[in-house]
Structures are given as structure tokens and as C-alpha cells.
Amino acid sequence: MEFEIPTTKEELTATLEQLFDYYHHYKGEYEGQPLETLNLDKMVFNEKSESVLREELTALMAKKQAAESAEKCAPYKVEYEKYSALYNAEDEEAEALLLAAEEEYRKKLERLVADAAERNLAQSSAYLSLRAELETEFENKNNQISRESAARKAEYQRAMAVAQSNLDETEGYIEKKYLAELELELLEALEKQKEYADAVLKYNNTIEEKLVKSRNDKAKAESALKLQYLEITARGVTDEELLELGYYTDVIAAVDGYYYSIDAEAAYNDFVADPDMPIYLGSYYNEILYKYQLRKNNAS
């Protein structure tokens, strides 16, 4: 029993009365100090569905797939853009060549007309023949420019088609590769999750077994304590049980706590004069009396 060491005779008397009453009507742990049970926490594991895992893995792999696709498709994209730019610029370049050819034809025609007029040959067969040749040359030049431009555009288109084909093939390969990897990663993630879930279940089952055993042990112990309490209350506390419970230890501590705080002779005289001390100290009374007598004699 917890108590404060008395500092006055009144406090000592009151403390001894409390100790006597407590231990002689001892209720034990059954009512005084309830037994504790184990306090163990179970593990909590929120299992993810296959669709959630697939979504998470897809998001992770999308970055890797995008990086690899950008790296391996870059040369084909550059090739495609190169020929696409040439194809788009071809019409303007052909138009410039046609304009240059027309300008050349116009100058040649002006010189031919001026020469014929100067020599008064504007209606001559020689002039008309030269003019027809000039027009044929101009027409042939235009046709050649158009044919060559069309040929170049066709070549650019073929190069663009090859680049696009390589690009599509590479992207398709990378996509299939990561789809296959996704399935493998998903299977592995599901297996690991199942292993962890099984481990958590096993751990929690072990914890539950320990908790059940603890509750059962507590119930048995409390039943035993209750029986002990009923037995004690039925027959009273024996001197041996008082010793085992700590009654005499507490009483001697209270008595010594007070009497050692006052003069040795006064302590001895007061102790001897107190008629209740033999009751509280029982078989220890003579031992304590002898101890205080020695203290008084040594102080003299």
C-alpha cells in the first residue's frame, strides 16, 4: 500500500489504522489492481485491385515508353520533316523556274521581233519559223520544269512514306514491347501483393492467438484471485499472509519513519507507552522495542 511517512504522532496513528484496516481486509489484485492484457497492434494492409495496379504501372511505364520512343523515332522524324519541307517548297521553286523561263522567252522574243522589224522581215517565213521555234523551246522548257518538279515531289513523297513507315513500325514495336512488359510487371506486382497479404494475415492470426490467450489467461488469473479473495474474506488474513502481502514491512516503515525523526529517548518512551503498538506490530513488537532501546542507550 502506498502511503506517506508520518511526521507527527497523530499522522502515525492514522497511518497505522489505515494499514491495519487495508491489510486485514485485503481484497488483493482482484479488486485493487486489475490485471492487464496484451496490447498488440495488428497490421493493416489495403489490397489494391488489378485495375488500380494496372493503372499505376501504366502511368510509370508511359514515361519510359515516351522516352524510348522519342530516342528511337527521332531519326525518322527528322528524315520525314526534311523531305516534307522539300516537298512543300518544291511548288515555289518550280514556280520560280517557270517565271525565269518565261522571262527568258520574253527577252528572246523581244530581240527577235526587234531584229525582224529592223530588217523588215516581220512577215517573212524565216521570222515566223524562228518565232515558232522560240515558242516550242519555251513550251518544252516549261514542260521539262514541270516534269522534273513532279519527279522530285514524287521522290520526296516516297522518302516521306519510307520515313513514316519506319516511324510507325518503330512506335508499334515499342508499344508492343511495353504492353508485354506491363503484363509481366502486373503479374509480378499481383504475386508480391498476394505474398505480402498472406504474410500480413499470418502475422495478424498470430497476434489474435496471443490476444485470445492473454484474455483467457487474464480470465483464469482473475478467477483465481477472486477465489483467493473469497477465501481470505471468509477466514480472515493469517499472520503469514500479512507478512507475504507486505503488511509488516509497511507498518515498520511507518513506525521507524516517525520515531527516527524524534529524539531517541522520547521515541522509546512514547513507543513503550503506546498500548496499540503490540497490536499493530504483532510478533515484531519485541524486535522493534529492542531496537529503540539500543538507540536510546547509545544516545545516552
Structural domain harbouring 268: 9-36+219-299
Domain count, the chain: 2
Q: Which amino acid is at 290?
A: Y
- Is the distance from CB of 131 to CB of 117 less than 8 angstroms? no
Of 25-29, 115-119, 264-268, 289-293, minimum mean pLDDT range: 25-29
Examine residue 113 and state whether it is found in any structural domain, yes or no: yes
pTM for this predicted structure: 0.46
Residues 251 and 149 both lie in one domain: no
| Residue 194 falls inside a structural domain | yes
Do residue 252 and residue 160 come from a single domain?
no
Domain check: are 230 and 280 in the same one?
A: yes
| 113 and 252 inside one domain | no
Under a CB-based contact definition with an 8 Å cutoff, are residues 28 and 228 in contact?
yes
Confidence check: pLDDT of 229 > 60: no
C-alpha–C-alpha distance, residues 97 and 123, integer Å: 32
Q: Do 174 and 199 sit in the same domain of this protein?
A: yes
Q: What is the mean pLDDT of the chain?
A: 89
Q: Are residues 178 and 152 in the same domain?
A: yes
pLDDT band at 255 (very low <50, low <70, confident <90, very high): very high
Specify the pLDDT at position 201. Answer: 93
From the number of C-beta atoms within 10 Å of its C-beta (0-12, 13-18, 19+), residue 267 rates as buried
Residue 240 lies in a domain: yes
Query: Do both 133 and 270 map to the same domain?
Result: no
pLDDT of residue 123: 83
Which of 203, 228, 247 is the last residue before a domain boundary? 203
Are 173 and 292 within one domain?
no
pLDDT at 130 over 70: yes
Please check whether residue 45 lies inside any domain of the structure. no
Cα dihedral 19, 21, 27, 29 in deg (nearest 10) = -10
Residue 168 domain flag: yes
Residues 231 and 290 in one domain: yes
Q: Helix (H, G, I), strand (E, B), or coil: what is residue 283?
A: helix
- Identify whether the C-beta of residue 101 lies closer than 8 Å to the C-beta of residue 144: no
Residue 42 CA, chain-centre distance (Å), reads 18
- Report H helices in the chain: 9-24, 28-31, 50-118, 125-235, 239-245, 247-259, 264-273, 277-281, 285-299
- Residues 229 and 289 grouped into a single domain: yes
Is 32 domain-assigned? yes
Q: Are residues 265 and 139 in the same domain?
A: no
Residue of 87, 99, 233 lying closest to 164 (CA atoms): 87
Closest CA to 247 of 277, 282, 290: 282
Q: What is the pLDDT of residues 52-104, one digit of tens each?
A: 999 999 999 999 999 999 999 999 999 999 999 999 999 899 999 999 999 99
Residues 69 and 20 in one domain: no
Per the CB < 8 A criterion, the answer to whether 296 and 267 are in contact is yes
Nearest to 16 by CA among 290, 284, 295, 292: 284
